[in-house]
Amino acid sequence: MPPRLSLRASAAPRRLLGQVSGSERQAVCFFCSLTDSSSPRPQQQQQTPATRRARRRRGGRLAASSQQQQRVYQSTTSTASSTSSTTREPDARKELEDALVQLQKHAASFVNLSRLQLAINGLRQEPGSEAIRVAILGLTNGTVSGQSAKQVLKLLLADPLKDEEEWEREVDRHDLTQPMIIRVGAKDHQTPGTISLAKGSLLHEVNVSSATMNGHNLELLLMETNPYVASADDSVEGLEDAILVPTVDIPISGTGRYTPVTTPVHKALLVTNGLMGAASVASLPLSESADVIAAAVDIPEYKPDSQTALPFTPIDVGTASVGLGLIRKSLNDAMEYEHMWFQSNLPKLKDWVKADVTTDAAGITKAPVRRLIASLLQNTTIAIAEEEARAVSTTLTTATSPKSTHLNSNLAAWAEGAHSELQEQLDLAFSSRRWRKLGWWKLFWRVDDVHMLTTDIINQRFLPTAEKKAIYLAGQIQEANAPNSISVVYDAPVLQTPDVQPAVPTTWPTNIPAARSYLQNETIPALQALAQKLVLQTLSTSGLTTSLGALAYFGTLTTGIYEAGAVAALGIVWSMRRMQKQWETARSFWEGEVREEGRKAVRGVETSVEKVLKQSEDVDATPVAENEELIRARDLVEKATEALDRLK
């Protein structure tokens, strides 16, 4: 038998090692090694030819049997090796569960414990068979929203081929001030369509059998909610925690008091009605959580355009209820029921509830469980980052010395004064009589004064006071850092032309003189050249058209003085108009460039000084050890994220 052969074959090498060693080893075949070497050998008998032929045949059979045993042994060893390697593979589901349990123990302040416990419970169930909890929440808008939520629940689970069932009447009678849990799928000892209230349960529980939703391990939570009050902040994370972790008040027997208990869910459907309900739902940021949070508004007879993008699903509960009543009275109204069912838009809600609650293959984790864990880890990462930011801010606040605070205040005052000076002085410069001397029609006799006048504007109006105060501020910083022996080096300005460098020392910010040098050495010569070019073009064009008019007057008999003058005037007017347009455009561009270079220079000085002050604060500040709780929490989140990526 193969198992016995395999067992004996696996034991044979060990027996060989025990029997043969050192110089006494002899060549022994594999099958012969299976015999007991300690047993006495029979006396050698005289071999006849028939005996020899029989021994040869028996030896051949023994050799073949030995080869077969070797093949069985190798196959068994290979199978055992592959089995052991498979069992050694890490279990991603177990690793993820352990990481979440550690988060629950050591990082409780950074994670929503209710959602975390729901995720852990899901991982402890069989993959692909996890229980999915869906909340149907009626927004607190009087009693109408609660009734709409009840009707939506009944329409999603009701069997149109049966009369009204007991669980439907139970839902109608239920008071939504207390939540109700509906477990979809009949128990083994129940017949479909019956209900069962859990004895001793603090919540009202009902088991319901639904022809279209059985077998999905689905649990529904029906209650009222107000996410605006429950949400601690206006962020998407705060809204998810408020809607996906609704709080219910459990009465304490005999005392008349209530205990708040959280009931986390995987998905939530908000139900409201009317225009006011639509407005309240539209204000919620639900677009980023469409897979886990949806909204439905009961608006009778509203038929939106198919291309209309709405943040909610419009439904007509009354139409769906009428259709259900028709088919329950007579199957002849099946077509009318189907028409009214799709007209009510309830199938969209049913598809959303059933989406991703089943898996295509066995052993694959359901998508809502994955999304819950991913959202949980993302929110935990955000909470850790916020705590780290608060810790750093606290450290910097306590470590900042009065000296640094004083210098930062001086820098802020300098920046404000520099921006004000830039705006006021340049407004005066570009509205002054000297700048008006460079009007386009004055260029004919002032074209050589462009360089002189613009240079005077730059020297007198381009941040002269801010430059002096920047030098003074640099001296204060140097004096403050002298006891610490910190070398104060400011960033060199980035010039638009590498060959233009300001002839100033580098122990103070040189952005302003560098910008002034750039304007004087690059932009003003270009403006001067353009003025000369425009004057030359205008005179040339005017002279050419005047000569053409004179030539036409004296060269032809049909051209009079008026026609010739018109030709000359047309050329003069066209050339002057072109000169005016190009020169005024150039002047406006130069004004804007001067203002922009001034803003960049002020910002450059501010950034350079901030960098020096930050360097001083880093030297003065005492290094603070990183919080061990944050480190552990961050490591656990990374471990859980890596295991989630490998989870099937």
121-135, 354-368, 536-550, 616-630: the lowest-pLDDT one: 616-630
- pLDDT confidence of residue 282: 79
Residue 88 pLDDT more than 60?
no
Mean pLDDT of 413-418: 91
44 vs 440, which has greater pLDDT? 440
Based on the fold, state whether residues 544 and 492 are members of the same structural domain.
Answer: yes
- pLDDT confidence of residue 618: 63
Residue 462 pLDDT more than 90?
yes
Question: Does some domain include residue 394?
Answer: no
Angle separating helix axes 2-19 and 49-88, nearest 10 degrees: 100
- pLDDT confidence of residue 56: 52
Residue 92, number of CB atoms within 10 A of its CB = 16
86-90, 435-439, 484-488: the lowest-pLDDT one: 86-90
Specify the pTM: 0.52
Rounded CA-CA distance 448/468 in Å is 32
Helix (H) or strand (E) holding 78: helix 49-88
Closest to 515 in 3D by CA, of 586, 451, 432, 422:
422
Question: Does some domain include residue 327?
Answer: yes
Which pair of tokens denotes residue 14?
């060990």
Based on the fold, state whether residues 437 and 345 are members of the same structural domain.
Answer: no
- pLDDT confidence of residue 482: 58
Question: Does some domain include residue 459?
Answer: yes
451 vs 58, which has greater pLDDT? 451
Task: Please write the tens of the pLDDT for every residue from 551-575.
Answer: 777 777 676 777 777 877 888 888 8
Helix (H) or strand (E) holding 350: helix 346-354
Based on the fold, state whether residues 230 and 299 are members of the same structural domain.
Answer: yes
On average, the pLDDT of the chain sits at: 75
Based on the fold, state whether residues 316 and 450 are members of the same structural domain.
Answer: no
25-34, 35-44, 297-306, 516-525 — which one is most confidently predicted on average? 516-525
Based on the fold, state whether residues 344 and 406 are members of the same structural domain.
Answer: no
Partners of 137 in beta bridges: 223, 270
Mean pLDDT of 301-324: 80
Based on the fold, state whether residues 354 and 406 are members of the same structural domain.
Answer: no
Reported confidence tier of residue 23, pLDDT bands at 50, 70, 90? very low
Mean pLDDT of 328-346: 89
Alpha helices by DSSP H, listed for 463-560, are 464-481, 511-518, 524-555
Rounded CA-CA distance 133/515 in Å is 66
Residue 272 pLDDT more than 50?
yes
Rounded percentage of the chain residues whose pLDDT exceeds 70: 71
Question: Does some domain include residue 174?
Answer: yes
Residue 61 pLDDT more than 60?
no
Based on the fold, state whether residues 150 and 219 are members of the same structural domain.
Answer: yes
Question: Does some domain include residue 103?
Answer: no
Task: Please write the tens of the pLDDT for every residue from 118-131.
Answer: 989 888 888 888 88
Rounded CA-CA distance 158/325 in Å is 11
610 vs 287, which has greater pLDDT? 610
Reported confidence tier of residue 202, pLDDT bands at 50, 70, 90? low
Number of folded domains that form the chain: 2
- pLDDT confidence of residue 557: 64
Reduce the DSSP state of residue 591 to 3 states and report it.
Answer: helix
- pLDDT confidence of residue 30: 32
603 vs 404, which has greater pLDDT? 603
Task: Please write the tens of the pLDDT for every residue from 280-290.
Answer: 887 777 766 77
Rounded CA-CA distance 65/57 in Å is 13
Question: Does some domain include residue 46?
Answer: no
Direct distance between the N- and C-terminal alpha carbons of the chain, in angstroms, rounded to an integer: 39
Based on the fold, state whether residues 425 and 333 are members of the same structural domain.
Answer: no
- pLDDT confidence of residue 287: 67
Residue 634 pLDDT more than 80?
yes
- pLDDT confidence of residue 87: 43
Residue 478 pLDDT more than 90?
no
Which pair of tokens denotes residue 101?
């349990």
Based on the fold, state whether residues 183 and 248 are members of the same structural domain.
Answer: yes
Domain C-terminal end among 297, 323, 358 = 358
Place of tokens 């038998």: 1
Based on the fold, state whether residues 496 and 624 are members of the same structural domain.
Answer: yes
Based on the fold, state whether residues 347 and 414 are members of the same structural domain.
Answer: no
Question: Does some domain include residue 29?
Answer: no
Residue 585 pLDDT more than 60?
yes
421 vs 63, which has greater pLDDT? 421
Residue 408 is part of which domain span?
402-630
Rounded CA-CA distance 162/435 in Å is 93
Based on the fold, state whether residues 249 and 354 are members of the same structural domain.
Answer: yes
Residue 172 pLDDT more than 50?
yes
- pLDDT confidence of residue 598: 92
Residue 538 pLDDT more than 90?
no
Question: Does some domain include residue 23?
Answer: no
- pLDDT confidence of residue 4: 40
- pLDDT confidence of residue 76: 45
Mean pLDDT of 89-98: 81
Domain C-terminal end among 324, 358, 392 = 358
